[in-house]
Amino acid sequence: MKHWRLVSYDIREPKRLRRVAKIMEGFGERIQYSVFRIYSTDKELEKLRWKLAKVTEEEDNIFYLTLCTKCASGAHTQEKNPRGQKLQKH
């Protein structure tokens, strides 16, 4: 079963930051510079965690939040994302 999830990160070194962003772009939609929204199964989430663990260090921080259906349906933004595209309510 798939769930909406928010993943945010604080990566201390620019090269690792770019690697993490590239991995995240393969899994979801950027909604802020270091925040992504993904729609994944538990297995897909574990794959993402494994990939991120390979490129991050102890000093880095990644936060995962699984949203219930009701919470996910109420989530929206009025800001523009970094690429200048208007985000839509999902």
Residue 86 pLDDT > 80? no
Task: Read off the pTM.
Answer: 0.80
Asked if residue 50 lies in contact with residue 85, where contact means CB atoms within 8 angstroms, the answer is no
pLDDT tens digits for range 1-34: 999 999 999 999 999 999 999 999 999 999 999 9
**How far apart are the two ends of the chain, measured CA to CA in Å?**
17
Domains of the chain, start order:
3-73 (3.30.70.240)
42 known member of a binding site: no
Q: Give the Cα separation of 56 and 3 in Å (integer).
A: 24
